[in-house]
Amino acid sequence: MATHKSAEKRARQTKRRTAVNGARRSRMRGSIKKVEEAITAGDKKAALAALRAAQPEIQRGSVSRVIAKNAAARRVSRLNARIKAMA
């Protein structure tokens, strides 16, 4: 356990950031799942709308380093490609 004042502060910050990152990751995964469900259902309009909502969530996740920048770009790109393939 932390005994120095600075180490105690670090522990508090880590706890808070872990909670924030967990919420961000959860929101991101949920938005991706909505896109995938719309793709599976075959509803292209709903999939496009869900992707438009999911893209900012994914980008926010990459900016806050919840996932890597290239991983975020790859996920958006693959979702977009799957929606385009529905035509």
Please give the chain's pLDDT, 87 residues, in tens. Answer: 788 999 999 999 999 999 999 999 999 999 999 999 999 999 999 999 999 999 999 999 999 999 999 999 999 999 999 999 987
Helices (H), 1-87: 5-41, 44-63, 69-84
Q: Which tokens sit at 58?
A: 């994914």
Contacts of 53 (CB under 8 A, 6+ apart): 31, 34
**pLDDT score, position 54:** 97
DSSP label of 3: -
In this structure, how many other beta carbons lie within 10 angstroms of the beta carbon of residue 27?
A: 16
The one-letter code for the residue type at 24 is R
The one-letter code for the residue type at 3 is T
